[in-house]
Amino acid sequence: MNFSVIIPARYASQRFPGKPLADIAGKPMIVHVAAQAAKSGARDVIVATDHPEIARVAKAHGFEAVMTRTDHATGTDRLAEVAAKRRFSTRHIVVNVQGDEPLIPPALIRDVAASLAAHRDAAIATACHRIASAAEFANPNVVKVVLDNAGYALYFSRAPIPYARDAFANGIRRLPPAMPAYRHLGIYAYRCGFLGAFKKMRPAPIEQFEALEQLRALAYGHRICVTVTRKAPHPGVDTPEDLVRILRAPDIMKSMLHGFQLGALATTAARSDLRGTPAV
């Protein structure tokens, strides 16, 4: 399977300006993300950014960086620009890995790419994991996804869906056993041909009200296949407080240092294997 990882990295985050450059164990966060992506088996790992310093540090650590426009509304738009610049074929698969996920499992990246490759009728592939906590299920900051029997997304929402009418008659205190409650994970795989079409679609009302970009694809009748993971990955870094949580966890820090070393080796090996290989 041949796929690329593109990591959108915007400097001007409202809650955490300069987040991709935040130091974790002596390396900028964006470098840790790229190192994890390099271990996924991706043919390319590309940092897509609107800031020269982010591009500089990515290149200084051996990763490719592409400068993109500053006016993109979404990370998907940034992906589409990079795919067009690199002249990827319409069938080539790219995985959008968020630039604030320094602990993302490489296997998850690979599994989402493989899922899209296996589901030819799907326009997008993504992932989820089961929710066990009633508080998490009720939290509007936790995006839920409901699946059909074949593993395709029926709907994504910040609301508690599916809603157990009888069990929740007196409020959401606990989840019924075997309830299919899933938390959506913000990782996506696309074929480059769909990326080009997606950016031309007008935002859908459900997308705008829920503030969930993937609902645009469902609104226009496109299918999204969803990989269900057994274990929830470590959360990303949305705020400075999230970064402090990582820095105060010795086991996480040790894992990140080891992961960066393996990622650097994977990047060197990939470059050696791909020397002279044409773009797909």
pLDDT tens readout for residues 197-210:
998 999 999 999 99
- Domain 3-274, CATH number (from 3.40.50.9100, 3.40.50.720, 3.40.50.300, 3.90.550.10): 3.90.550.10
pLDDT tens readout for residues 82-119:
999 999 999 999 999 999 999 999 999 999 999 999 99
Q: What's the average model confidence in pLDDT over 141-153?
A: 97
pLDDT value, residue 256: 62
Confidence band of 12 (pLDDT split at 50, 70, 90):
confident
At a CB cut-off of 8 Å and minimum separation 6, what does 151 contact? Answer: 225, 226, 227, 228
**β strands within the chain, DSSP E:** 3-9, 23-24, 27-28, 44-49, 64-67, 93-96, 124-130, 144-147, 153-157, 182-191, 224-229
In terms of pTM, does the model score above 0.85? yes
What are the counts of helices (DSSP H) followed by strands (DSSP E) for the chain? 10, 11
CB 3 within 8 A of CB 93: yes
pLDDT tens readout for residues 155-209:
999 999 999 999 999 999 999 999 999 999 999 999 999 999 998 999 999 999 9
Name the 3-class secondary structure at 195: helix
Domain coordinates of the chain in residue numbers?
3-274
What is the rounded CA–CA span in Å between residue 156 and residue 182?
Answer: 10
User: Which is nearest to 96 in space by CA: 16, 31, 3, 164?
Assistant: 3
Structure-block tokens of residue 148:
């059909």
Structure-block tokens of residue 163:
């809603």
pLDDT value, residue 53: 96
pLDDT tens readout for residues 32-78:
999 999 999 999 999 999 999 999 999 999 999 999 998 888 889 99
Q: What's the average model confidence in pLDDT over 236-253?
A: 79
What is the rounded CA–CA span in Å between residue 52 and residue 68?
Answer: 10
* CB atoms inside a 10 Å sphere around CB 211: 10
Mean pLDDT of the chain: 90
Percent share of the chain, pLDDT over 70 = 89
Evaluate if residue 134 carries a pLDDT over 70: yes
State the pairing for strand pair 124-130/182-191. Answer: antiparallel
- Provide the residue type at 18 as one letter: G
